[in-house]
Amino acid sequence: MIVKEKNGEGFLDLRICDNLELMAEIKDNTIDLIYCDILYGTGRKFADYQDLKPIRSEIESHYIPRIKEMCRILKPTGSIYLQMDTRINHWMRCIMDDVFGYDKFRNEISWWYKRWSNISFGFQKMHDVILFYSKDKSKFNIQYQDYAKPNEIEDTVRGVIDGKLVRLKNEDGSYKKRETENKGVPLHDVWEIQHIQPTAKERLGYDTQKPKALIERIIRASSNEGDLVADFYLGSGTTAEVCKDLNRNFIGCDINPRAIEITLQRLNDALS
């Protein structure tokens, strides 16, 4: 099935199919940004889909042909972000290095969240990993975060603002008033963003749904209005909705018909 929704001057193209089928239809060097929240290798049967097993040969036989296709269809100025957790990130990084090149690695972003978890042997697992690679010379829009709060810089007399070393406190120890508006400091690679809570308005009841705020950061950093963004593991359509909000064109698919049904519903709700 193909559903092509209008998005202002642009489009949102949604398919129910295996992502290999969709990628085979896309010409070389077409996509500006790929974001995929991939199968994590939990081996679990979720209500909506069956995950892969955490077995290296199974992970490689699923991902190697798909990552090669992603590399082929990405523009030379394009970027790719793959989200997973620590079960398979080491294998995925080797696959990405082999296909894109070790020198095309840009960041390993940690998405740090708080959640209830059972006591287990070892430290509580509280982050996902997002691997960011470029194809050749990718574009990048620097994102900013707030300065540390005054109590966190209590003992700091000097700090770097807009690339300049400045005094943060007056001679008498009081805090210096900032005269000029500033954007903050460039965003680092550990992102604290709330998981979708059980009562959140955003929650659609699709297993493993991700927060819009997380995907928004990626789309703002590595694409511009009118660019073409793709998600080949679409789930409940979070990436499609963010593209709609930010005036990006979108192409994506999911093998599960219910995923596309939920995506269409949320896009229509966002319109009304």
What are the residues binding ligand SAM (CB under 6 A)? 18-19, 37, 39, 48-49, 206, 208-210, 232-233, 235-236, 238, 253-256, 259
Q: What is the smallest separation between the CB atom of 251 and ligand SAM, expressed in angstroms?
A: 13
Find the residue with minimal CB distance to ligand SAM: 235
What's the one-letter identity of residue 125?
Answer: K
Give the Cα separation of 161 and 153 in Å (integer): 13
59 versus 168: smaller Cβ distance to ligand SAM: 59
81 versus 100: smaller Cβ distance to ligand SAM: 81
Determine phi and psi for 64, rounding to 5 degrees: -55, -50
49 versus 111: smaller Cβ distance to ligand SAM: 49
Cα–Cα distances in angstroms (integers) from residue 58 to residues 20, 35, 43, 70, in the given order: 16, 22, 11, 19
Token pair recorded at residue 186: 């460039």
Q: What is the smallest separation between the CB atom of 210 and ligand SAM, expressed in angstroms?
A: 4
13 versus 37: smaller Cβ distance to ligand SAM: 37
Q: What is the smallest separation between the CB atom of 22 and ligand SAM, expressed in angstroms?
A: 8
Q: Are 147 and 185 in contact (CB under 8 A)?
A: yes
104 versus 236: smaller Cβ distance to ligand SAM: 236
Return the sign of the alpha-carbon dihedral for residues 79, 63, 257, 48.
Answer: negative
3-state secondary structure of 176: coil
70 versus 168: smaller Cβ distance to ligand SAM: 70
- Give the residue from 74, 113, 85, 76 showing the smallest Cα distance to 232: 74
Q: What is the smallest separation between the CB atom of 253 and ligand SAM, expressed in angstroms?
A: 5
Q: What is the smallest separation between the CB atom of 38 and ligand SAM, expressed in angstroms?
A: 7
Give the Cα separation of 176 and 117 in Å (integer): 42
Token pair recorded at residue 173: 């120890």
Q: What is the smallest separation between the CB atom of 231 and ligand SAM, expressed in angstroms?
A: 7
